[in-house]
Amino acid sequence: MTLYSRRKLLATGAAGGLVAAAAATGASAEDYSAAAMSDPGPHDPAQAATNPYDWQGLPTDHGNLGTLRHSFSQVHNRHTDAGWAREVTVRNFPISKNMAGVNMRLPKGAVRELHWHVPAEWAFVTYGVGRITAVDSGAQRFVADVKEGDLWFFPGGVPHSIQGLGPDGCEFILVFNDGNFSEDSTFLITDWFNHTPKEVLAKNFGVPASTFDNTTKKDLWIFGAPVPGSLADDLAESQQPFVTNPYAFPLGDQKPVFQSAGGSVRIADVNNFPATTMSAALVELEPGGLRELHWHPLSDEWQYYISGTARMGVFHGEGRNNTVEFHPSDVGYVPQSIGHYVQNIGKDTVRFLEVFTTPQYADVSLASWMNNVPHELVAAHLNIDVATLQKLAQRKTPVVPV
């Protein structure tokens, strides 16, 4: 982080006033500079350390863009004996109007019960293995095992389930294309059974009403169940056809669409994952690597930081620019078409997800834009010589080499 130097302070009118005041009182300008940057009153050092740029931004920062970062580590965690989930929604992250996120842990055998919801569900496995199931409106079925680095997508209204497998279940991130969505507001199969007369259930399924005497009287949400058998056995259990486009995709196994010494980018969108109506990128930044200055013209961007320490600069126009620091379990958000960059400022690889509500992934590169219009035009704007501009990349370089 860049600190304000004495020279920078003296360069401002306010600093000039400090010098005059120092001469009158006998205090040094350094004393006034140190006092201006101190916080003797009550404060929380641990909270301040989560984003040091809130306290002292970069010299290029200006204005207030609101809160661009939240963390799953700071939100209420809903526990059961079998697993847990926590969420970041527009209620605790106001800028996140178009997407909500859930972090869920299912140990071995634990089930996120059969359910559905109005928004679509995009998911990425961060740990372990699990089994997912779904049935679409044409009674076509889907069963698959997913591992760390895989993702899945369930369209809105498609009923599904998730279960942790051995040896230690799974953990994953869910993203919904509605910032108001809550994990607590899904349509649960047990909840519907509990609120439907047994004689109606009996008639619907063609079985005696006594069939439902032992049905649980409360919803299960996350509960323990026997670990399922082989995937082959589950696939063979029904004779119904499978969905045309599978709902799972091995994003982590894909060849990067871009790779340099600075890192890599893998993309999942409708072009390689036909089932989805949302798009995403898995970005890796090596120490010093930079996700280039760019913006996304089609959608807001929801971010999830998996590893490393990153710094994001966000340019909102009207002279406003803020800098934010991110750590594992943090969520970032950038509104549609707002310029930004992400830089690895730590010693470990930064891995993070970019998630969008549109089926097509799209970004616009600042450097590529500058070198695909007449050089003289750009030179007139920025007072950079044409020879330098001619060296800029005409193609996008999503991760700038270290």
Tens of pLDDT, residue by residue over 198-255, are 999 999 999 999 999 999 888 999 999 999 999 999 999 999 999 999 999 999 999 9
Tell me whether residue 122 is in a domain. yes
Residues 116 and 151 in one domain: yes
What residues pair up with 77 in beta bridges, in sequence order? 86
Burial degree of 273 (CB within 10 A; 0-12, 13-18, 19+): buried
- pLDDT for the residue 35: 74
- pLDDT for the residue 32: 59
Tell me whether residue 61 is in a domain. no
Q: Which tokens go with 360?
A: 């097509």
Tell me whether residue 68 is in a domain. no
- pLDDT for the residue 48: 80
- pLDDT for the residue 356: 98
- pLDDT for the residue 44: 81
Residues 236 and 263 in one domain: no
DSSP, residue by residue, 181-219: --GGG-EEHHHHHHTS-HHHHHHHHTS-GGGGTTS-SS-
- Of 56-60, 134-138, 284-288, 326-330, minimum mean pLDDT range: 56-60
- pLDDT for the residue 232: 97
Model confidence at 55, pLDDT cuts 50, 70, 90, reads: confident
Burial degree of 390 (CB within 10 A; 0-12, 13-18, 19+): exposed
76 is an annotated ligand-binding site residue: no
What letter represents residue 322's amino acid?
A: N
340 is an annotated ligand-binding site residue: yes
d(Cα 328, Cα 351) in Å, to the nearest integer? Answer: 9
d(Cα 106, Cα 171) in Å, to the nearest integer? Answer: 6
| Pair 400, 263: CB distance under 8 Å | no
State CA 30 to chain mean position distance: 42
d(Cα 264, Cα 282) in Å, to the nearest integer? Answer: 8
| Pair 376, 386: CB distance under 8 Å | yes
117 is an annotated ligand-binding site residue: yes
pLDDT tens column, 140-190: 999 999 999 999 999 999 999 999 999 999 999 999 999 999 999 899 999
Catalytic residue of the set 183, 284, 325, 354:
354
Residues 37 and 114 in one domain: no
Q: How far is CA 387 from CA 11, 219, 380, 390, in A?
A: 33, 68, 13, 5
Treating both helix axes as pointing N-terminal to C-terminal, what angle do 13-25 and 29-36 enclose, rounded to 10 degrees?
120
State CA 221 to chain mean position distance: 24
d(Cα 100, Cα 67) in Å, to the nearest integer? Answer: 15
Residues 178 and 225 in one domain: yes
- Domain extent, residue 229, equals 75-249
Residues 200 and 306 in one domain: no
- pLDDT for the residue 4: 39
Residues 92 and 214 in one domain: yes
Q: Catalytic residue at 325?
A: no
Output the furthest CA–CA distance in the chain (Å, rounded): 95
Model confidence at 27, pLDDT cuts 50, 70, 90, reads: low
Q: Which of 190, 214, 249 is the last residue of a domain?
A: 249
292 is an annotated ligand-binding site residue: no
Residues 148 and 241 in one domain: yes
Q: Which of 192, 226, 249 is the last residue of a domain?
A: 249
CATH classification at residue 206: 2.60.120.10
Domain count, the chain: 3
Q: Which of 122, 57, 16, 140 is nearest to 311 (CA)?
A: 57
Model confidence at 16, pLDDT cuts 50, 70, 90, reads: very low
The model carries a pTM of: 0.90
Residues 104 and 180 in one domain: yes
Residues 111 and 211 in one domain: yes
